[in-house]
Amino acid sequence: MRIKHWVAPLALVAAGMALAQPSWGYDDVRKPVKPAGALALRTAPAPKPSPATMAQGVQDELAAQFQRAAGSRSSLTAQEARKAGWGFVADHFGQIDTSGKGYVTLAEIGSFMAARSPQRLREGAPQ
């Protein structure tokens, strides 16, 4: 019976000793030293794009997508647009091809997208 009375306090003392031990992992690892010119190597944050640069980026992406879909040709059919994975043009082909030629050009796609642009809608909205 006497052993039972010593088990609980002994277990608490052992647990306390285990928790009081210092951590052994990575205490001796030194932190890296920053080079002397570290602040000089920082670059300024990129400037906020202007509406003109954003519009140019959209035009460049549109031209690249058109070239991937049409190849070396200057026109694109609905089937070619669908085959190239350009669903927006394929879905709105009838609205883009207002003259009913059966093909569209990059300029026609650009005009259609510009007319639907949120920026243009915002600019034209009454204030």
HSE, CB side, 13 Å, CA atoms: give it for residue 80: 17
Rounded CA gap, 68 and 98, in Å? 23
For every one of its 127 residues, what pLDDT tens digit does the chain have, with 9 covering 90 and above? Answer: 555 666 666 676 666 665 655 555 565 667 777 766 656 556 778 788 888 888 888 889 999 999 999 999 999 999 999 999 999 999 999 999 999 999 999 999 988 988 887 766 455 545 4
- Is this structure's pTM higher than 0.75? no
Cβ proximity of 86 and 65 under 8 Å: yes
